[in-house]
Chains A and B, each alone.
Chain A
Amino acid sequence: MSSEWPLWEVFIRGQHGLNHRHVGSLHAPDAEMAILNARDVYTRRNEGVSIWVVRSADIVASAPSDKGPLFDPANAKVYRHPTFFDVPDEVGHM
């Protein structure tokens, strides 16, 4: 037999209630073991409170060549960012 365990991507939510963040990958025979392995490999220093794993093969990614069309338009919408607007000093914090 000797087929390699599939590769899994590991996402961990840190202590601070932030979003799960991609931390790396590992091999495991199935999802349940991938969770256990992720706990042992990626939280050795008490880094997380919640783990997601997903088969690397199941990740759907944007094609690198689409980077221009996908992300450049958002660049033009500067008004989405608070720094676009001048707030007069007299108004104080907003």
Chain B
Amino acid sequence: MSAVGLSPAVAEFALRMGDNCLILGHRNSEWCGHAPALEEDIALANTALDLIGQTQLWLGLACEAEGKGRRPDEIAFLRDVSGYRNLLLVEQPNGDFGRTLMRQYLFDAWHLPLLKALMGSADKRIAEIAEKASKEVAYHLERSADLVVRLGDGTAESHTRMQAAVDFLWPYTGEMFLADALDEELVAAGLAPEPGSLKAAWQEHVTRTFAEATLKAPEKSFAQKGGRRGVHSEHLGYILAEMQFLQRAYPGASW
């Protein structure tokens, strides 16, 4: 369904979803060939591949809803920083492998309940993408949570590194649950859940995982925010400079 009047909201929402997948997939792909063990190299590449696949679906929907005849590649490779709608969390630099895994976990624990809720979206296209993605993301969460537990409750060094990762990334988690005018519109139309409604499931998962991992969530709840309306950290510019290089250097060429 999705009435014509709602199309801009759907397009914007699909951008938010797709940009999260694209930027996190991009960050994970930076590890390819450099991970701590071959088995992990392969596993993380699988996650990145899933996310790039999901990017194609969400950006495809964004193009369709936008109705201007653009293609997903044009949106991915020709928007500047201010046009990107991803969370600040996913654009944070990889750091050590522990921080990469922690970022993945904090994202997955939010991504899965979000997708589950979206499976009931009034827009069938959103529901279908969510259904496909949720199967992949359920596995991402299983794996990232498992590794967080193991490394938190591993050696003194692995514990220290994982705690440092939590402390560094925590301020970027609050943004996942903040609502703006677009969210209100989406909720009212039954297209997407209220962001705040996902907090309980996320919190519960994180609390349980951290307890097992012997990690502590920081007390402070200050949230860095802005990604969803195009105000990013300095890091995104460099990601895009690299990612968009060919499309920018050779305008109009096909690849």
Contact = CB atoms under 8 A, between A and B. Distances in A.
Contacts of B143: 36
A37 B155 CA distance: 21
Contact of A28 (B39, B42, B46, B142): B39
Contact of A32 (B38, B39, B146): B146
A41 B39 contact: yes
B227 to A, nearest CB: 29
Contact of A33 (B38, B139, B146): B146
Contacts of B150: 29, 33
Interface in B139-194: 139, 142-143, 146, 150, 155
A44 interface: yes
Given A36-B143, A36-B146, A44-B46, A1 B155 contact: yes
A29 B38 CA distance: 13
Interface in A15-68: 26-29, 32-33, 36-37, 39-41, 44
A77 B38 CA distance: 47
Nearest to A36: B143
A26 B39 contact: yes
Contacts of B38: 27
A69 B125 CA distance: 64
Contacts of A5: 37
Nearest to B44: A40
Nearest to A39: B139
A87 to B, nearest CB: 50
A37 B150 CA distance: 15
A73 B46 CA distance: 48
B43 A36 contact: yes
Which 4 pairs from chain A and chain B are nearest by CB? A40-B43, A37-B39, A40-B46, A40-B42
Interface of B: 37-39, 42-43, 46, 139, 142-143, 146, 150, 155
Interface of A: 1, 5, 26-29, 32-33, 36-37, 39-41, 44
26 contacts: A1-B155, A5-B37, A26-B39, A27-B37, A27-B38, A27-B39, A28-B39, A29-B150, A32-B146, A33-B146, A36-B43, A36-B142, A36-B143, A36-B146, A37-B39, A37-B42, A37-B43, A39-B139, A40-B42, A40-B43, A40-B46, A41-B39, A41-B42, A41-B43, A44-B42, A44-B46
